[in-house]
Amino acid sequence: MADAQTYFRAHRSQLLPALTAVMEATDGKSKIPILSNVLMKPMGDQLLLRGTNLDIEIEATCDLLEAFSQEPISLKASDLRDIVKNLPEAAEIDFAPGRFPGQVSVTSGRARFSIFCLPEKDFPSISAHLAGEAFEVDMPRLSDAIRKVLYAVDKTDTKRFHYEGVYIHPNETGDSLSIAAADGRALAVVRMKTLTRAAFKGVIMPARTVAAIRKLMGESKRPGQLTISEHMIRIECNGVTILSKLIEAVFPPNYATLLHASGETKAIAPVDGVQAAVSRVLLVSNEARFDGVRLSFEKDAMRLELATQQGETASDVVPVEYTGDPDFSVGFNGVLMAGMLGSIASQDVEITFSGDRGQALFRPMADVEEYYVMSPMAAKGAN
């Protein structure tokens, strides 16, 4: 039986998933204590949970067993998560005033905890009115499209902000989206249909935001609603809402011109075979991010070679269908190439080389709108 002062009671099976979701936005290392907290606000028979780091904000709801008060409380997210996670699966958890002012009591059976809380008035929110019109998408497809381009996001912290996230924009009729990422050496673009018409200007979503979308909504069987304005994006699905600031930068506006290669040098190669060969030749590299893998072609084979600065070498050969100059060779970043091949689900890939520099367009041999562009780099052969 609950104490007369109990705020509310929740079941572990309801509370833990919602708490885990909002923690994707909290900042446990922040020097601002409230940003490490989660806000818990009873709303009738539902509990609203919110976390934010001032760049991204996530809300989730769960059912309450009982609500004795509408009093909101703010607790350190990691401490609460550890408590809830270590309680029995069937636990019913009571939240009430703690032993001392500024504390909240968390009780389940004979387990009792008294932890610090902060006032609701100190809890920030980046919530703002979004002028855009909401549209619906299939969330697993959006999540998969994001996954396929993530390898091309710039992770080197070069302050080229337009390369540090995932670019999303609709086509002219609003019935499909282009999801793109680039880092100056690689470009990945996946196009997907929307469920309702989308109309917004292209924006760049931060890496943390797209990671939260994939983790929290990637397996949803329900459509997701996206609302996008110039500076903010809101994604709603399955009782979870992600609100995020956008990267204020301009993605290369002419990127689509790279998606239509017209070169006469082409190869059709097995995806798994090339991916395995790239992984093998990278084994000798101590600087895989910088070492190039050299590709050279014969009529029915592609040789992959890597030579390190220290003189170690590796090579492998993959059977391909090749049309072009028999002396043609080109180098690509091995890590990016491996990431790109890991994004392609088809059995075979068509590679088209353009111009004298050997820029390559990789297209899956399947009925999908996916484009993967690799820029060449200097790479030594094994001989």
Band the pLDDT of 289: cuts 50, 70, 90: confident
242 or 130, which is more confident? 242
Given pLDDT bands bounded at 50, 70 and 90, which one contains residue 3?
Answer: low
Q: Give the per-residue pLDDT at 382.
A: 58
CATH class of 260-374: alpha beta
Tokens 């769960």 sit on residue? 62
Q: Which amino acid is at 210?
A: V
For residues 5-16, give the mean pLDDT. Answer: 96
Mean pLDDT of the chain: 93
Residue 118 makes CB contacts below 8 A (sequence gap 6+) with 33, 34, 37, 74
Cα–Cα distance, 333 to 291 (Å, whole number)? 6
The arithmetic mean of pLDDT across residues 19-43, rounded, is: 95
Q: Given this model, what pLDDT does residue 263 score? A: 80
Q: How far apart are CA 153 and CA 247, in angstroms?
A: 13
How far apart are the C-alpha atoms of 188 and 85, rounded to whole Å? 39
Structure tokens that stand for 318 in this block: 């993959």
* CATH match of 8-122 with 2.115.10.20: no
Residue with tokens 């890590």: 335
- The four Cα atoms 242, 247, 252, 254 give a dihedral, to 10 degrees, of 40
Answer whether residue 357 shows pLDDT above 80: no
Of 48-57, 106-115, 127-136, 141-150, the one with minimum mean pLDDT is: 127-136
CA distance linking residue 229 with residue 210, whole number of Å: 16
- pLDDT digits 0-9 by tens, 295-324: 999 889 999 999 988 889 999 999 999 998
The answer to whether the CB of 83 falls within 8 A of the CB of 105 is no
What pTM does this model have? Answer: 0.92
**pLDDT > 50? residue 293:** yes
Q: Could you tell me where the DSSP H helices lie in the chain?
A: 12-22, 77-85, 139-149, 207-217, 271-281, 334-343
Assess whether pLDDT exceeds 80 at residue 358.
no
Q: Where are the alpha helices (DSSP H) in 231-382?
A: 271-281, 334-343
Burial of 20 (0-12, 13-18, 19+ CB in 10 A): middle
List where CATH 3.10.150.10 sits in the chain: 8-122, 135-256, 260-374
- Decide: residue 343, CB within 10 A, 0-12 exposed, 13-18 middle, 19+ buried: buried
267 and 320 Cβ atoms separated by less than 8 Å: yes
Give the span between the Cα atoms of 120 and 125, in whole angstroms.
11
Q: pLDDT (tens digit, 9 = 90+) per residue, 331-341?
A: 999 999 999 99
Instruction: Tell me the mean pLDDT in the region 152-179.
Output: 92
Candidates 3.10.150.10, 2.40.30.10, 3.90.850.10, 3.30.830.10; CATH matching 135-256? 3.10.150.10
Asked whether the predicted pLDDT for residue 124 surpasses 80, the reply is: yes
